[in-house]
């Protein structure tokens, strides 16, 4: 039996078992199991033996940095973000990766991330998206609340250190204006149960050609609804969630999946989320 797991704390309802079980089934790996393992922060430092007992695992908050001390090697993506969300057990050698960036890039494949991009928020996911956008040639506007200005400035410095010719500016989210090829919501505004909230004005949405929202619950945020009502492309967070899992399977055992199969899993996740909220 190949054992895989998600570690984090606290672990409430998670879509991970649904996604990974479907990916294992597509790979014909019926001898694989996927479980949720809740590890309190004070216990993570003593978890090396547990990690070694698993063929592979995913890592979520608050352990993405703490597990770095427990692995033997970091992949390039984990080094770039100093953050691990996927670990491969290669015959007892633990190698850490970050597949969140792959999840974003693959789900945003048809979106203009190399254009004029407004990113709402600069937290963990916003930081990753901003850096990836800069590395792909996007002109970035970081739109944040006043309390996050200092963090936004630190992020801007980090982006420029990694990509010296990047174009980055910081604005108060309430003052965001101008036209954008892509508007990305990397804040929790609009997340279930506060589904009637939207991080920006209708005018900002009207002036954006396309929208990406990292939120997957609800499957269609108010921001996405407004964008689609205007005939714009809007992509939700379920695709990012599934594609980062797909990358994990590629790392763990060389899994290969068609676009059609991945699209079906994204739909299954969205249907599960919608059923959960009824």
Known catalytic residues are 64
Residue 255, token pair as written in the block: 């899994």
Residue 60, token pair as written in the block: 């979520």
Which sign does the torsion angle of CA 127, 128, 133, 136 carry? positive
Q: What secondary structure does DSSP assign to 146-190, as a single string?
A: GGGHHHHHHHHHHHHHH-TT-EEEEEEGGG--S-BSEEEE-SSTT
Give dist(CA 37, CA 40) in Å, integer.
Answer: 10
Give dist(CA 120, CA 126) in Å, integer.
Answer: 7
- Kindly list the distances between the CA atom of residue 114 and the CA atoms of 104, 166, 170, 175, in Å, as whole numbers in the listed order: 14, 11, 18, 23
Give the relative orientation of helices 124-135 and 149-162 as an angle to the nearest 10 degrees: 30
| Neighbour count for residue 60 (Cβ, 10 Å) | 15
């Amino acid at each position: 039996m190949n054992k895989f797991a998600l570690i984090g704390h606290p672990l409430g309802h998670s879509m991970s078992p649904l996604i990974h079980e479907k990916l294992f089934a597509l790979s014909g790996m019926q001898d694989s199991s996927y479980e949720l393992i809740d590890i309190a922060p004070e216990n993570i430092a003593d978890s090396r033996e547990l990690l070694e007992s698993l063929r592979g695992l995913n890592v979520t908050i608050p352990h993405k940095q703490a597990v770095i001390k427990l692995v033997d090697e970091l992949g390039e993506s984990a080094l770039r973000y100093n953050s691990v969300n996927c670990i491969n057990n290669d015959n007892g050698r633990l190698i850490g990766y970050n597949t969140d960036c792959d999840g974003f890039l693959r789900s945003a494949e048809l979106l203009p991330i190399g254009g004029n991009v407004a990113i709402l928020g600069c937290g963990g996911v916003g930081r990753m998206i901003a850096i990836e956008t800069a590395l792909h040639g996007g002109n970035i506007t970081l739109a944040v609340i006043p309390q996050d200005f200092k963090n936004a400035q630190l992020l801007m410095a980090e982006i420029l250190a990694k990509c010296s010719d990047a174009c980055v500016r910081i604005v108060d989210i309430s003052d965001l204006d101008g036209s954008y090829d892509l508007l990305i919501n990397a804040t929790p505004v609009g997340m279930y149960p506060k589904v009637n909230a939207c991080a920006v004005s209708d005018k900002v949405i009207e002036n954006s050609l396309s929208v990406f929202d990292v939120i997957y619950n609800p499957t269609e945020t108010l921001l996405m609804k407004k964008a689609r009502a205007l005939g714009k492309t809007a992509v939700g967070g379920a695709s990012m969630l599934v594609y980062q899992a797909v990358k994990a399977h590629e790392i763990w055992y060389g899994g290969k999946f068609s676009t059609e199969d991945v699209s079906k899993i994204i739909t299954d996740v969205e249907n599960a989320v919608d059923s959960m909220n009824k």
